[in-house]
Amino acid sequence: MKDEPRSHPFRDSTEDVAAADRIPDTAQTRAPAYRLAFTDTDFMTREELRPVRLQVELLKPQLVMDERGVNSTIVIMGSARIRPAGQDGSTTPLAHWYDEARKLARLITVRSLENYGREMVVMTGGGPGIMEAGNRGAHEAGGQSIGLNIVLPHEQAPNAYVTPDLCFNFHYFAIRKMHFLMRARAVCIFPGGFGTLDEMFESLTLIQTGRMKRIPFLLFGRKFWESIINWQALAEAGAISPDDLTLFRFVETAEEAMAEIDGWDQPC
């Protein structure tokens, strides 16, 4: 395959990386100071380089998704601890939401493939539980899906259903949160714990404050959400506006969620 022509007359950085590997082995060339700055892991992980790391962590997934032609996404969030019914010989009260998330992702991906997989691409956190269900449903429908993994103190690995070329790993929660919403055409929140609540409320705050345009924001399982959050009490106490209760809608099934997304008419 012929290399694409350069857009500038300067020597390519990859050529210098290769050339640096062929230099004589001397005390000078072994010294950390001699390493090319952008290949020097010790240098790039210094405290002072945090602004640079933030920038490249934002830019890398952005460029990859642009190159893959991903224009819009449907974000699926929920607990990493929800497993499908019967797995490991056990069933939890929330197990059926795994199947519903899997079904939703299949329906979304069938629709996405009508646009050559560029619109409404399933995006999850890339891990187990509801995230796995989302990537699994997309995989079963024959389409691509995105996983935004993050390095955690305990062992963390992407699930087997994320499209490999769209499987990203993050150090910064803040940058990961941005990528969840930058292309989002809808956000679908399944029952979950601290991480799910964190993502849900941060996203709702962006919409509430006008920092993000309104999109379908769907909470799966009215009974669950109303049992852990007294939404009406927040409004009655004046902590939120009564109109803020219209920023999201409760749904119970994948089909109902698709109807909400298809029938979305952004409020004025």
Residue 116 maps to a domain: yes
In the prediction, which pLDDT does 11 show?
A: 81
Residue 245 maps to a domain: yes
In the prediction, which pLDDT does 91 show?
A: 65
Contacts of 182 by beta carbon, 8 Å cutoff, 6+ apart:
62
| 217 three-class SS | strand
Distance (Å, whole) CA 79 – CA 131: 8
In the prediction, which pLDDT does 247 show?
A: 97
pLDDT-derived band at 67, boundaries 50, 70, 90: very high
Phi, psi for residue 220 in degrees, rounded to 5:
-85, 120
pLDDT-derived band at 190, boundaries 50, 70, 90: very high
| 59 three-class SS | helix
Q: Is the per-residue pLDDT at 233 higher than 80?
A: yes
Which candidate, 18, 42, 22, places its Cα nearest to that of 31? 42
pLDDT-derived band at 17, boundaries 50, 70, 90: confident
> Which pLDDT tens digit goes with each residue over 165-183?
999 999 999 999 999 999 9
In the prediction, which pLDDT does 268 show?
A: 42
Judge contact between 150 and 173, C-beta under 8 A: yes
> Which pLDDT tens digit goes with each residue over 79-93?
999 998 775 555 678
Residue 46 maps to a domain: no
Q: What is the average per-residue pLDDT within 208-221?
A: 97
Residue 100 maps to a domain: yes
> How many other CB atoms are found less than 10 A from the CB of residue 23?
10
Residue 13 maps to a domain: no
In the prediction, which pLDDT does 2 show?
A: 46
Q: What is the average per-residue pLDDT within 187-207?
A: 97
> Which pLDDT tens digit goes with each residue over 102-138?
999 999 999 999 999 999 999 999 999 999 999 999 9
Residue 144 maps to a domain: yes
Mean pLDDT of the chain: 92
DSSP 118: -
In the prediction, which pLDDT does 265 show?
A: 73
Q: What is the average per-residue pLDDT within 157-168?
A: 96
In the prediction, which pLDDT does 260 show?
A: 97
Q: Is the per-residue pLDDT at 194 higher than 50?
A: yes
Q: What is the average per-residue pLDDT within 134-157?
A: 93
Amino acid at 106: R
Residue 31 maps to a domain: no
Residue 206 belongs to domain with CATH number: 3.40.50.450
Amino acid at 214: R
Share of the chain above pLDDT 90, in %: 80
pLDDT-derived band at 19, boundaries 50, 70, 90: confident
Count Cβ atoms within 10 A of the Cβ of residue 101 and give its class: 0-12 exposed, 13-18 middle, 19 or more buried: buried
Q: Is the per-residue pLDDT at 34 higher than 80?
A: yes
Distance (Å, whole) CA 135 – CA 161: 5
| 150 three-class SS | strand
Q: What domain range is 160 assigned to?
A: 53-262
In the prediction, which pLDDT does 4 show?
A: 61
Hey, CA dihedral for 85, 100, 220, 191, is it positive or negative?
positive
Q: What is the average per-residue pLDDT within 15-42?
A: 89
Residue 10 maps to a domain: no
| Number of structural domains in the chain | 1
